[in-house]
Structure 1
C-alpha cells in the first residue's frame, strides 16, 4: 500500500469542502490519503476495511514473532502434549 503523492496528498481544506470525495477516493484506491495543513502532513485517512486488514496483519505478525521467540527459548510442546491437554484422542 504505497501512497501516490500525485493523487493521495490532500489539503485539509479539500477535506472540509468535499469530505465524501476524499473518503471515496481512499476506499476506491485502496490506499491511505495523507492530509496536510500548510504543506505538512497532519493525519492519514483510510477506509475501515483497510484499517482492519492492517490491524489483523500486525496482530498476526506479532503472534509469529512471539512463537519464534518461544521456540528459541525452548518453550515448546509436542503435539501429543497438546492433544492430552485438550482431551483429544
Structure 2
C-alpha cells in the first residue's frame, strides 16, 4: 500500500467540504488518507475493512513474536501435555 502524496494527503478543510469524496477515495483505493492542519498531519482516514484487516494482521504478528520469544526462553509445552489439556 504505497501512499501517493498527490492524492492521499489532504487539508482538513477539504475533508470538511467534501467528506464523501474522501471516504469513497479510501474505499476505492484501499489507501489511507492523511489529513493535515496547518501543514501537519493530524488524522488518518481509512476504510473500515482495511482497518480491521490491518488490526488482525498486527495481532497475528504480535502473537508470532510472543511465541518466538517464549521458544527462545525455553517456555515450551510438550505436545502430549497439550493433548491432555485439550482432552485428546
| Normalised-by-shorter TM-score class | over 0.9
Q: How many residues align?
A: 88
Q: CA RMSD in A?
A: 0.9
- SS of 2:75's partner is coil
Runs of at least 5 residues in structure 1 that lack an aligned partner in the other structure: none
Query: Could you tell me the TM-score, scaled by structure 2's length?
Result: 0.94
Note if 1:85 corresponds to 2:73: no
Shift of 1:19: 0.3
Query: Could you tell me the TM-score, scaled by structure 1's length?
Result: 0.93
Shift of 1:70: 0.7
Paired with 2:38 and 2:86, the residues of 1 have a C-alpha distance of 59
Runs of at least 5 residues in structure 2 that lack an aligned partner in the other structure: none
Partner of 2:9: 9
